[in-house]
Chain A
Amino acid sequence: MSDLSGSWTLVRFIGHRDRVRIVVWIASVVLLVAVTAPSIKGLFPTQGDLDKAAVASAANDAVIVFNGPVQGLATVGGEVTFQVGTSTLVLVALMSLLMVTRCTRAEEESGRTELLRATSLGRHAEIAAALVVVAAMNLVIGGLIAAALIGQRLPVAGSFVFGASSTALGMFFSAVALATAQVTENSHVASGLAGAVLGVGFMLRALGDIGDGRLSWLSPIGWSQKTRPFAGDLWWPLLISFALIVVFLSLALALSSRRDIGAGLVQPRPGPARAPRSLGTPLGLVIRLQRGTVLTWAVAMLVLGAGFGSVANAINGFVGDSQTMKDIIARMGPTTLVDAYLGTALFMMAIIAACYGVASVERLRSEETLLHTEQLLTTPTSRGAWVASHVAVCLVGSVAVCLVGSVVVLLAAGFGAAAPYALVTRDASQVPRIIAAMLTYLPAVWLMVGLSTALFGLLPQAMRAAWAMMAAYFVLGFFGQLLKVPTWVQDLSPFQQTPHLPAGTLTLLPLAIITLVGVGLLSTGLAAFRHRDVG
């Protein structure tokens, strides 16, 4: 078929260009499952432990919202599916829709597709190539997940059903993203639309799972969960997924055949002929450029905070009598379970806030490589003013993101128990306490902003190193003790150095040191940028 000519060349091209990305995605998803399975065995060593956890989970709506339906929880396989199944499905869906958009609409938006289409490349070659690559990734993930679970001596049938349901969901969202990529000429909007389908699917199955389960049948995630891995092992719900994959693929192909290259179905709206008064200073421009980013991260934090908060009050019942869970929490210091749990939640949110900071500073570099900076710096805008505007917006944004996170955790904790967290503990001082605990992480977040800025000034090509640091800090924070990382290595993380409130005690010295290091890095970056070539 001439419509598909050149597809295989494109597949090999994508496989080469995105080789690191592909491996990282596959490894992350598979490792998530492969690491969880043995840890479940360790957490609930006896059948009695499993039974207690099963009872506690079944009674806790907040847990079900994030973990999925109660299916076979009294078995190790069922418990593994409960703990990690929904996260795996969400990750696979995100991976698929992001990869598909990257290989289709993003390429088209950049103008590269035009270059390729002018060669002897079929009209549907990009779609076919993206589909082949992402399908291969999903198949490998499904196979490796099954192998990892079987390796943990879990039932073979259930392991394959788990793997297949992940693959099916990934394929479903590949097809959805292919369709949304035809609708709009903006790749971010295209992946956003597919992401919205994922969000609605998640909500529908959450409501279904805490109810009688019927609503879950309306959700793509629901179909994958209705296969009941390790708790009945049904294959037929995946037929629904496959039917809809065919529907969305046909839709994508039909739309693709009817539209012009570079165009979407939705025409972009015109903008104002004159700039608003606010758009006339470097700061005004940065606020305009970054406001969408801050908003996106704030919404992400809102969702995360709502999740963590709603579980907070249930935590006492959930941990129940599991000695291992008690031991883990006891290691965090003398504290109540809820405080320890909230401490972990706030730590997690601090990591997310720092990721926002790193992503926000990275904008400096993308502005530079896109030659936008050149146009600004040839007006009477100083290099310092330009970098400072970005950093200022980033620092204020990080405070906003942290505030959103902590306030929403409190609110959600309140809703979860049908009464505010403050009332549950009969102590109104909880509100400032939790917010203050969140804000304690700001120096560490700002240190990451400083580090990124320093990299931007000194080694702009190596800015991605900041992400490696973030990953390291995350692993140290959550698995440092489990992996027996030496204390001095753990101490290198500013997030470890920050007092883990509300459980720990507040000491100001480490905060002061972290702040100073952050300020030092920031000024280094600013000074270095003044002395290097731009572009």
Chain B
Amino acid sequence: MADAIFTRGLVKTFGSARALDGLDLAVAAGEVHGLLGPNGAGKTTTIRVLLGLLHADSGEVVLLGGDPWREAVMLHRRLAYVPGEVNLWPKLSGGEVIDLLGRLRGDLDYRRRDELLERFELDPTKKARTYSKGNRQKVALVASLASTAELLILDEPTSGLDPLMESVFQDCIREVTRQGRTVLLSSHILAEVEQLCDRVSIIRSGRTVQTGTLADLRHLARTSIAATTIRPPAGLAALPGVTGLGLDGQRVTFDVETDQLESAVRILVDHGLRSLTSAPPTIEELFLHEYGDFRAKEAALSATDRAPRTTRPEAARPRRE
């Protein structure tokens, strides 16, 4: 099946700032693809190039088989978009905005619209100026989900929603995928991507650093081990791929890269393994693996000055920027 979205070597500069620096992205038709990255990574710029709002300086971009810059109008009949920052016309009511956008797209399903309003608990009679950020986002979500577009492009669509609404949103996306439609979901909320996405592209500084299924990416990352051994497990520190080693009496904690897992466990066994817990890497850890490189190295450098750590590095917590 052809890719719904394909970019290669996409470059976009704003003055001296290089927002996209050779970005590659491939979204297969019918999948939910996560676009992960911290603020300023280039997620929104990528989306705006895909929507034909920005003209890429160089590189290749194909959207639904067409050129998003030259064939914008034709392609926009087949997609729906939720912007990251939803700004509505202050004097129009939420219902009016939903109808306007739906009619402009030409595929508004009124029954579906009313059903979505109910599920998202949105009052369509309020003037847009009085909506909170979350409610403005709901307006844009209802407008796009009430369409029959084959591609949904969602830019951090849940950043203003409460957990309850987030789960409504996730249900809606699952329905969309069941209908065979494609979704590009940009986010820095890792749990959401983990819940919804078939494949993920991690981008940083305008480049794609990793693409693959969650399973693929997990393969690249580490496993967290906590164990107790009779004797201190000498040799672990010398093993390549082991990081964050902490010794506290008989208890040892560390992270290990997957291809060194076997050697690490063997060392533990050799030193009298009494208990072992291992945790698969969460997407948070994948994310930190990709992003935290620089920060982790700095942390590691300063850590060598200190005594061996007894606790797991704080940095393993999800970082929400």
Contact = CB atoms under 8 A, between A and B. Distances in A.
Interface in A1-42: none
B95 A274 contact: yes
B48 A535 contact: yes
Nearest to A111: B133
Given A271-B92, A374-B83, A533-B55, A379 B127 contact: no
A106 B76 CA distance: 36
Interface in A363-382: 370-372, 374-382
Interface residues of B, number: 40
Chain A: number of interface residues, binned into ranges: 35 or more
B51 interface: yes
User: Quick one: which of B54, B73, B85, B105 has the most chain A CB within 10 A?
Assistant: B73
B167 to A, nearest CB: 25
A185 B98 CA distance: 24
Given A270-B127, A273-B124, A533 B104 contact: no
A379 B101 contact: yes
Interface string B82-96: 010101110111011
Given A374-B83, A535-B48, A380 B99 contact: no
Contact of B74 (A109, A375, A380): A380
Contact of B95 (A273, A371, A379): A273
A425 interface: no
B139 to A, nearest CB: 10
B100 interface: yes
A270 B104 contact: no
A371 B101 contact: no
Contact of B76 (A275, A280, A370, A378): A378
Contacts of B127: 268-271
B72 to A, nearest CB: 7
Given A289-B89, A371-B87, A375-B83, A382 B72 contact: yes
Given A378-B81, A379-B76, A533 B99 contact: no
Contacts of A486: none
A288 interface: yes
Contacts of A532: 55
A380 B78 CA distance: 9
Nearest to B78: A380
B87 A370 contact: yes
A380 B73 contact: yes
B119 interface: no
Interface string A264-297: 0000111111111001111001001100000000
B221 to A, nearest CB: 35
A281 B93 contact: no
Contact of B93 (A109, A270, A371): A270
B178 interface: no
A272 B130 contact: no
B53 A275 contact: no
Given A285-B100, A378-B76, A272 B87 contact: no
Given A270-B93, A271-B126, A273-B95, A379 B105 contact: yes
A424 interface: no
A431 B229 CA distance: 105
Nearest to A267: B130
B106 interface: yes
Given A275-B96, A381-B104, A535-B54, A270 B125 contact: yes
A268 B129 contact: yes
A535 to B, nearest CB: 6
Nearest to B140: A375
B103 interface: yes
Contacts, number: 112
B96 A279 contact: yes
A517 B41 CA distance: 45
Nearest to A531: B55
A379 B72 CA distance: 9
B126 A288 contact: no
A534 interface: yes
Given A279-B99, A372-B89, A533-B55, A382 B73 contact: yes
Interface string A378-404: 111111000000000000000000000
A109 B130 CA distance: 10
B219 interface: no
Given A268-B130, A275-B100, A378 B53 contact: yes
Contacts of A282: 104
Nearest to A384: B73
A272 B77 CA distance: 26
A510 to B, nearest CB: 39
Interface string B150-171: 0000000000000000000000
Contact of B125 (A273, A281, A383, A533): A273
B53 A371 contact: no
B101 A272 contact: no
Interface in A482-535: 531-535
A275 B99 contact: yes
B85 A371 contact: yes
A272 B96 contact: yes
B100 A280 contact: yes
Interface string B39-74: 000000000100111110000000000000000111
17 contacts: A186-B129, A269-B127, A271-B126, A275-B100, A276-B96, A281-B104, A285-B100, A288-B92, A289-B91, A374-B53, A375-B87, A377-B51, A379-B101, A380-B74, A380-B104, A380-B106, A381-B76
Task: Pick the 8 closest A-B CB pairs, nearest first.
Answer: A271-B93, A275-B99, A280-B103, A379-B104, A270-B125, A275-B96, A273-B95, A378-B81
Interface of A: 109, 185-186, 268-276, 279-282, 285, 288-289, 370-372, 374-383, 531-535
Given A370-B87, A379-B105, 10 more contacts: A270-B127, A272-B95, A275-B98, A279-B92, A279-B99, A279-B100, A280-B104, A285-B89, A288-B92, A376-B104
